[in-house]
Amino acid sequence: MTTIIESIDTIRPSHTHATVDIAGVAWPVYKVRALVVAAIAALIALVLTGSGEVTMWACALTLTTLWWAGRLRPQLS
């Protein structure tokens, strides 16, 4: 069964983030920063523990936290 849903045009506030050009694509700086810090966290976790599982968790937690914090930062101001 097909349902028709009316779309309501709402104006969303535009959030502009500083960008950096990587291979011709404008990436928000907060995403690049999250990826770099997560890679550093993964390297540190791997050196300290030698465990792939701990490394993955450290990397995932760091990346997710920084990515969302950077994404939501303009809304918190």
In the predicted structure, residue 8 carries a pLDDT above the cut 50: yes
Tokens 């490394």 appear where? 55
Residue 52 and residue 56: Cα distance in Å, rounded?
6
This prediction's pTM: 0.73
In the predicted structure, residue 5 carries a pLDDT above the cut 80: no
Helix ranges, 1-77 (H):
29-49, 52-76
Angle, vertex CA 28, rays to CA 65 and CA 43, nearest 5: 50
Segments making up each domain of the chain, as ranges: 21-76
